[in-house]
């Protein structure tokens, strides 16, 4: 173990472990294998049914009626290609997003991808790092690990040499190293991920809704299909014609393109977001994007740029070594946070300042500190935490914070050593401290000033430290977008409330002038907390634990909450939010738990992310109405045919032609159209309220046209042509209604579909191929008249079941589908 601490594994040992398969190879949560994609698009229940029906047509019918089989092949191929494109995009971004891991090998530090860790590697960790594998702590310097994502334990755990650590936990303070004892699929987080099976649309109303549709349709197709087959075979003398009619009815009942369009819409959404350098790590995030109505923003790194610069050091005591103390504190941590880096840029590490006790910074404490041999104990942190309320220094700090600056205080206290807990080996004492050979020192739980247990003695205010933060220039435009879209903004920060309020006001965030100090919030009264969250916009001095409570309080009020963040203090809230959005430059733990990562830290891409989710969901709902209208008119026609005993009104080639022109081709374009309307619950009932009556009306019009035609002297082919004309007109009108509101390309789309059908009727080659015989003018005119009446009825149904403001999207956008 001692050798590991000094050298780590050798190259030969690493090679040996790789050859034995003892390497951290795990499946990325954002991707799935080629075989899984092929199975999902090919080996489906509907494809199996259609394959059997296609074989029956090839045996007993004419090959032209088997055209629907080629459509299924094309659908599966398109689905596979789109998902592979999405997989490639996700995998490329996932590699970029992977936080490199620092390991010790061959007596030198190195950075490697997490998947290159081998069993026995010495992994080096610091604040914000997520632990990639399980292991045993080798060295700990004030090391605090948060395991709440795995165990639910809310408080950070102090780790000492010999303690076990689990993959998936993350470092909140301190530094250390540990030896990897479990890697790959044996690691704790990997086992959890495998059980959770993250790559699918779990907890998705959209996928649940489509699953319900399939279940209901399966229940109906089996008995009605059996009735149709019995009717056609038993009452039609020609067995080939009977099979052809039965297959036409059953194939039309199946909404095979609905699943395809859903897959394509999600895949294209992933690709579009990938081009904007947005990594979607969980596909359900696409749907959640559409439902977000509250966006919680962390000020630092989101509204402001991640870095800071040292603006001013206002010395309050000329007799104290302010500048040396600042330099000494800033250079203590080998993994400095942005505040320490800002101070380091102006102050070098002074000589003669040797730390004997260190307390690392944490978002819960709001300060860090150290005791230096012969120099006293110094703390650097939030001014309103370290300074006494009512003092002149406190008032000055508050005044500066009100302008939007970040204000810290440097204070000196008598000692940190008087908080020592005998027998504790938390390693908070600096290494080699001659006055504390046993490592007796304070644990961070003991340090709670002001209001922390323990006596730090008199506090001497030494200086006010002012840090400048740059507001992201693109933030204002993005925030205006969310306001226009009805998304409520909540600014949640660990900074001074007045400073946060000043920045919110400068960005014209509604309610930004009023801020709340989170230290005064009723954490033990969820109802009161939820009420305050609903009515307040800006919150300051928020701890990581409170951020998590805030998300839960908003969700309890029925909100769909998105949370942005970049620091380790945001991890718990990001995980609990309906949608966690991390900045690409954020900590490894933050990026690991977020569903969406903005790789370029570009806040302006967030509106695009939300808009993409809304486009996907609204358009899937739109095309679902088309596909299910087809399903329901086929069910009604099959039922009528089975009971009355006539030949089915059309053949498979007829349904292939009509479905392609009124559903398949238009749905592909409609599924990819822009939309800005926030999605809302009730996907299944909204679609059924449209599809069921529309399907019934279309079926009645088709069957009535067919029944009237067959009472005369016309041939079966002519009768079916009249039915096909009625079928096309009614389903085309459904397309016209669903495609509203009209834009130039939508008008062109529906017009082109009508023109193509007219050409199919007019041109002899297509008439022959699709078995169209418009030879009985009176029957065809009757079919057109019945279809016109049916179209009027469809218009009434659509106006009744759809909101009057169907065409009134935000910002003039009309690509919306409301209940």
- Helix runs in 382-521, H state only: 383-386, 392-401, 475-484, 497-506
Tell me the C-alpha distance between 571 and 578, whole Å.
Answer: 13
For 123, which DSSP code? E
d(CA 170, CA 592): 10
| CA distance readout (Å), 35 to 43, 207, 261, 269, 300 | 11, 21, 20, 22, 43
The HSE-up count of residue 599 (CA atoms within 13 Å, CB side) is 19
At 583, list the tokens.
């900045």
Widest CA span in the chain: 115
Sign of the torsion angle spanned by Cα atoms 795, 800, 804, 805: negative
**Residue 293: alpha-carbon gap to chain centroid:** 14
Assigned token pair, 748: 């062109």
Give CA–CA dist 321/377, Å, rounded: 12
| Number of helices (H), then strands (E), in the chain | 29, 21
Out of 65, 121, 298, 333, pick the active-site residue: 298
CA angle 294, 298, 300 (to 5 degrees): 155
- Which residue is listed with tokens 């299909």? 225
- Residue count of the chain, please give it: 819
CB 164, CB 193: distance < 8 Å = no
Nearest-angstrom CA–CA distance, 381 and 379: 7
> How many other CB atoms are there within 10 angstroms of residue 558's CB atom?
8
Rounded to whole angstroms, how far apart are CA atoms 280 and 273? 8
- Yes or no: say if 654 and 771 are a contact pair by the CB < 8 Å rule: yes
Q: Are 292 and 579 in contact (CB under 8 A)?
A: yes
Residue 596 pairs with which residues in a beta bridge? 280, 581
Q: How far apart are CA 121 and CA 178, in angstroms?
A: 8
- What phi and psi, each to the nearest 5 degrees, are found at residue 154? -75, -35
Catalytic residue list contains 534 = no
In angstroms, the CA 790 to CA 317 distance is 88
Is residue 587 a contact partner of residue 608, using CB atoms and an 8 Å limit? no
Residues 6+ apart with CB under 8 A from 162: 136, 137
Burial category of 437 from C-beta neighbours within 10 Å (exposed 0-12, middle 13-18, buried 19 and up) = exposed
Each as own residue / partner, the long-range contacts of residues 708-717 (CB below 8 Å, 24 or more positions apart, any chain) are: 708/779, 708/782, 709/776, 709/779, 709/782, 709/783, 710/646, 712/776, 712/778, 712/779, 714/775, 714/776, 714/779, 715/773, 715/775, 716/647, 717/771, 717/773
Q: Could you check whether the bond before residue 741 is cis, i.e. omega within 30 degrees of 0? A: yes
DSSP codes of every residue in 180-242 = EEE-GGGSHHHHHHHHHT-SS-TT-HHHHHHHHHHHHHHHHHHHHHHHHHHHHHHH-S-HHHH
Element (DSSP H or E) covering residue 172: strand 170-182
Q: Which residues, at least 6 apart from 349, have a Cβ–Cβ distance to it below 8 Å?
A: 327, 328, 330, 331
| Separation of alpha carbons 199 and 184, rounded Å | 18
**Using CA of residue 756, residue 760, residue 764, residue 766, what is the dihedral sign?**
positive
Residues known to be catalytic:
298
């Amino acid at each position: 173990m001692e050798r590991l601490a000094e050298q780590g594994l050798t190259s030969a040992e690493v090679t040996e472990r790789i050859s034995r398969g003892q390497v951290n190879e795990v499946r990325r949560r954002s991707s799935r294998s080629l075989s899984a994609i092929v199975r999902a698009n090919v080996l489906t229940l509907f494809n199996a049914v259609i394959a059997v029906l296609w074989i029956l047509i090839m045996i007993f019918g004419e090959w032209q009626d088997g055209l629907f089989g080629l459509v299924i092949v094309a659908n599966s191929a398109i689905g596979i290609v789109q998902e592979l494109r999405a997989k490639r995009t996700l995998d490329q971004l996932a590699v970029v997003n992977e936080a490199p891991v620092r390991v010790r090998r061959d007596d030198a530090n190195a950075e490697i991808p997490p998947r290159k860790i081998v069993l026995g590697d010495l992994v080096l960790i610091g604040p914000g790092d997520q632990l990639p594998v399980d292991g045993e702590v080798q060295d700990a310097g004030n090391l605090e690990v948060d395991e709440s994502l795995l165990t639910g334990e809310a408080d950070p755990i102090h780790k000492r040499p010999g303690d076990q650590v689990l993959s998936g936990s993350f470092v909140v303070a301190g530094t250390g190293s540990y030896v990897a004892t479990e890697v790959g699929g044996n690691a704790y987080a990997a086992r959890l991920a495998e059980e959770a099976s993250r790559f699918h649309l779990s907890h998705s109303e959209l996928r649940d809704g489509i699953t319900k549709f399939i279940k209901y349709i399966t229940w109906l197709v089996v008995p009605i299909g059996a009735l149709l087959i019995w009717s056609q075979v038993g009452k039609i003398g020609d067995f080939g014609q009977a099979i052809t009619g039965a297959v036409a009815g059953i194939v039309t009942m199946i909404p095979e393109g609905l699943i395809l369009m859903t897959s394509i819409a999600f895949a294209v959404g992933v690709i579009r977001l990938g081009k904007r350098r947005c990594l979607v790590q969980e596909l359900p995030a696409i749907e959640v994007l559409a439902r977000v109505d509250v966006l919680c923003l962390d000020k630092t790194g989101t509204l402001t740029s991640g870095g800071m610069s040292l603006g001013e050091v206002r010395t309050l005591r000329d007799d104290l070594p302010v500048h040396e103390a600042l330099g000494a504190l800033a250079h203590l941590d080998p993994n400095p946070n942005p505040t320490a880096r800002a101070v380091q840029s102006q102050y070098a590490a002074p000589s003669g300042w040797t730390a004997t006790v260190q307390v690392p910074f944490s978002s819960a404490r709001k300060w860090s500190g150290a005791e230096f041999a012969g120099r006293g104990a110094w703390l650097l942190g939030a001014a309103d935490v370290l300074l006494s309320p009512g003092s002149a220094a406190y008032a000055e700090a508050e005044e500066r914070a009100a302008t939007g600056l970040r204000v810290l205080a440097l204070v000196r206290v008598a000692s940190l050593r008087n908080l020592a807990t005998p027998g504790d080996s938390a390693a908070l004492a600096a290494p080699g401290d001659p006055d504390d050979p046993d490592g007796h020192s304070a644990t961070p739980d003991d340090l709670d000033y002001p209001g922390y247990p323990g006596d730090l003695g008199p506090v001497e205010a030494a200086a006010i430290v002012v840090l400048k933060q740059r507001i992201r220039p693109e933030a204002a435009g993005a925030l205006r977008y969310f306001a226009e879209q009805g998304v409520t903004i909540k600014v949640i920060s660990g900074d001074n409330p007045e400073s946060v309020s000043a920045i919110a006001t400068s960005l014209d965030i509604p309610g930004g002038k009023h801020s709340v100090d989170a230290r005064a919030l009723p954490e033990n009264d969820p109802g009161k907390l939820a009420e305050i969250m609903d009515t307040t916009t800006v919150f300051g001095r928020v701890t990581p634990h409170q951020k998590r409570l805030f998300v839960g309080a908003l969700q309890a009020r029925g909100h769909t909450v998105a949370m942005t963040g970049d620091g380790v203090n945001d991890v718990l809230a990001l995980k609990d939010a309906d949608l966690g959005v991390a900045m690409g430059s954020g900590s490894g733990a933050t990026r690991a738990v977020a569903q969406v990562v903005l790789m370029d830290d570009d806040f302006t891409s967030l509106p695009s992310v939300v808009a993409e989710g809304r486009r996907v969901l609204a358009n899937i709902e739109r095309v679902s109405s088309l596909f299910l209208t087809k399903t329901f008119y086929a069910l009604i026609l099959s039922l009528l045919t089975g009971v009355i005993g006539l030949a089915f009104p059309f053949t498979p080639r007829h349904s292939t032609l009509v479905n392609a022109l009124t559903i398949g081709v238009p749905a592909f374009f409609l599924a990819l159209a822009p939309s800005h309307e926030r999605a809302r619950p009730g996907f299944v009932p909204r679609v059924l309220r449209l599809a069921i009556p529309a399907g019934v009306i279309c079926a009645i019009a088709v069957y009535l046209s067919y029944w009237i035609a067959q009472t005369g002297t016309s041939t079966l082919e002519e009768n079916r042509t009249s039915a096909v004309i009625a079928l096309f007109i009614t389903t085309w009108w459904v397309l016209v209604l669903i495609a509203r509101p009209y834009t130039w390309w939508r008008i062109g789309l529906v017009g082109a579909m009508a023109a193509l059908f007219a050409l199919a009727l007019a041109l002899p080659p297509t008439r022959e191929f699709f078995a169209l015989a418009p030879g009985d003018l009176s029957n065809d005119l009757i079919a057109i008249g019945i279809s016109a009446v049916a179209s009027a009825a469809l218009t009434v149904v659509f106006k009744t079941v759809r909101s009057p403001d169907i065409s009134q999207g935000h910002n003039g956008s009309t690509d919306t589908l409301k209940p």
